[in-house]
Amino acid sequence: MNQGVRGTRDFYPEDMRLRNWLFDNFTYAALLHGFEEYDAPVLEHEELYTRKQGEEITQQLYNFQDKGDRKVALRPEMTPSLARMVMARAGGLAMPIKWFSIPQCWRYERTQKGRGREHYQWNVDIWGTTEITADAELISVLVTFFEGVGLTAEDLVIRISNRKVLEEVLGSLDIKGDNFAKTCIIVDKMDKLSSNIVEEQLSDLGHDSKTISTIQSILGIKDMADLQNALKGDSMAVSELNFLLNAIESYGMSEWVEFDASVVRGLAYYTGSVFEVHDREGKFRAICGGGRYDKLLSTLGGKDLPATGFGFGDMVIMELLSEKGLMPELLSGIEDIVISLSPELRDIAVMVAASLRDSERMVDLVLENKKMKWAFKHAERIGAKRLVLVGPEEWSRKMVKIKDLETGEESEILVSDI
């Protein structure tokens, strides 16, 4: 019974230090851009995720009936919870909303490198504005985070496109609504499945071979001039993409970004800009994914509000940082170790520890009778800065000895002066 559920992780203190460090970097990048933090329960009504377009995410739901026979699910993503929260206060929230969160999400996935059955997912979303500058602002949050942890545009690429590219092409062939969303979900799998399987699935959806080859050729475009040629005339997709790329240039982030029509995203609700972050070498799964979803609320029975955002998992990024040698060496944060060198002095050590804590030092009080040698080893292991020794000889003069573990210097201080 010492193993957790398959695909889940334990966080020992050394893992937790790294996780906190990562979350602090997530939080800092969001705060720097004026976002506020929110949270929601991990357990939601199952119907929040009942979408009929055949997305992987809804097939991977951790769902069950609770003791009151309610159908519930562990959230596989945060966006529907956020939508529910926005809807519950419809009209009462000052727009635009700029919120972020770092929820744990659950998906019954095939576990593999970078994908588990639970993960923490940094979510950053803006609601209430159709301005494409909002999409650029999200990219800026990402770039701030990447720079903060030491990654560069040589390590990563943010690939962007727009759902309207495919929407315009398929719309002219009268493929709309659910059928369009289903097509996006299939073509999103192109880099994971063989082209035969993708073609088969597209044909099962009712697309003829001409439509399939049109889709494939459009998705192969990586240049804006080629896209303009392919879509011809007044294309909303082209103008939105141009606007976003220009905004990205104004932010000075162009080196991070590439247009790539094959980015469509595997969730049904996206309506406009879409983007994904990958390592340049293509060794890892997607690091982050997001886009604009202006029509989600009506699918949940509410009145639509424009929205845009991204989700960024904690797993792939940690693997990438470790591969690049960018994982920080983090210590416990404990500053002082207080130890009494005889059992009769334990109360004095308690008092010394309390005084140090009053002056906001992080103190580990040794709780048992231990030898000096042990204390030194312990201090080294946890990276403490000072050892505070309460010994009989010093205490006879109402003093304690302080050893600075960085410089090796020793000094004595009156207990009343601590």
Q: State the residues that interact with ligand HAM by CB under 6 A.
A: 57, 77, 79, 107, 109, 115-116, 119, 121, 123, 125, 267, 286-290, 309-313, 315-316
What ranges make up the beta strands (E) of 282-360? 288-292, 307-313, 336-340
The two structure tokens encoding residue 170: 């398929």
Cβ at position 82, least distance to ligand HAM in Å: 8
C-beta of 326 vs 362, nearer to ligand HAM:
326
CB nearer ligand HAM, residue 201 or residue 273? 273
**CB of residue 172 to ligand HAM, shortest distance in Å:** 27
**Pairing relationship of beta strands 71-74 and 257-259 according to DSSP bridges:** unpaired
- Cβ atoms of 254 and 155 closer than 8 Å: no
Q: What are the beta bridge partners of residue 275?
A: 160, 290
The CA distance from 353 to 334, in Å, is 12
The nearest distance, CB 290 to ligand HAM, in angstroms, is: 4
CB of 73 to ligand HAM, least distance (A): 14
Handedness of CA 141, 24, 35, 276 (dihedral sign): positive
β-sheet bridge partners, residue 104: 120
CB of 111 to ligand HAM, least distance (A): 8
Residue recorded with tokens 């293509």:
282
Q: Contact at 8 Å (CB) between 7 and 111?
A: yes
Q: Which two tokens stand for residue 387?
A: 């050892």
* Nearest residue to ligand HAM, scored by beta-carbon proximity: 313
The b/e string for 140-154 (b: 16+ C-beta within 10 A; e otherwise) is bbbbbbbeebebebe
Residue 218 or 317: the one with the smaller Cβ distance to ligand HAM is 317
In the complex, minimum distance from the CB of residue 379 to ligand HAM, in angstroms, rounded to a whole number: 37
CB of 208 to ligand HAM, least distance (A): 30
Report whether 388 contacts 355 (CB < 8 A). Answer: no
If you count DSSP H runs as helices and E runs as strands, how many of each does the chain have, helices first? 15, 17
Closer CB to ligand HAM, 102 or 231, in the complex? 102
Residue 312 vs 395, nearer CB to ligand HAM: 312
Residue type for 389, please? L
Residue 91: strand pairing partners: none
Q: Residue 108 or 180: which CB sits closer to ligand HAM? A: 108
CB-nearer residue toward ligand HAM: 50 or 342: 50
Q: Min. distance of Cβ 324 from ligand HAM in angstroms?
A: 17
Radius of gyration over every alpha carbon of the chain, rounded to an integer in angstroms: 27
Least distance (Å) between residue 79 CB and ligand HAM: 4
Nearest C-alpha neighbor of 127 from the set 13, 260, 236, 35: 35
* Vertex 246: Cα angle to 153 and 239 (nearest 5): 125
- Of the candidates 282, 275, 273, 272, which has an alpha carbon nearest to the alpha carbon of residue 257? 275
In whole angstroms, how close is the CB of 105 to ligand HAM at the nearest point? 7
Task: Determine which helix (DSSP H) or strand (DSSP E) holds 297, and give its type and residue range.
Answer: helix 296-299
Of residues 315 and 337, the one with the C-beta less far from ligand HAM: 315
124 vs 165 by CB, closer to ligand HAM: 124
CB of 7 to ligand HAM, least distance (A): 8
CA 237 to chain centre: 28
- The nearer residue to ligand HAM, 236 or 318, going by C-beta atoms, is 318
Nearest residue (CB) to ligand HAM, 118 versus 167: 118
Cα separation values, 205 from 177, 192, 211, 299, Å = 13, 19, 11, 22
